[in-house]
Structure 1
């Protein structure tokens, strides 16, 4: 990658997702995503208008973690 393109990507702000977009990724209702944010399970940012937005990197990280946990086989003791 050329230096100027790489620098531009480093300066570009992270994409913020709406509760609806996050809900689609987790296959839940948007109200569930709002409850997760209120409970502190996922971080959110408030827009000047009071709407919630979620950092894409944090959402993808949480999704990957939960997916790994769900796919880990449970062994009988």
Structure 2
């Protein structure tokens, strides 16, 4: 039995999130800065977004912050 850790969760790039919402990638970055989305920084400094959080936002399901 393997427990799924947050590190193993699929991550999306700003461009992938932008495609899902049909917005510009810069808009996704603004949402992250405004706290609407949680971003994770890669070692290279790029933003990544949790797929489950993005899909919940797309579906209109409010997310509770655990951080």
TM-score interval for Structure 1 and Structure 2 normalised by the shorter chain: 0.7 to 0.9
Q: How many residue pairs align between the two structures?
A: 60
Structure 2 portions without partners, runs of 5+: 62-67
Query: What is the distance in 2 between the residues matched to 1:33 and 1:17?
Result: 11
Q: Which of 13, 18, 39 is the matching residue for 2:34?
A: 39
Residue in structure 1 matched with residue 4 of structure 2 by the alignment: 10
Structure whose CA Rg is larger: 1
Structure 1 moving runs of 4+ over 4 Å: none
Instruction: Give the structure with the higher percent helix.
Output: 1
Normalising by the residue count of structure 1, what TM-score does the alignment of the two structures yield?
0.70
1:30 is aligned to 2:45:
no
- 1:41 Cα deviation from its structure 2 partner: 0.8
Query: What is the distance in 2 between the residues matched to 1:48 and 1:36?
Result: 21
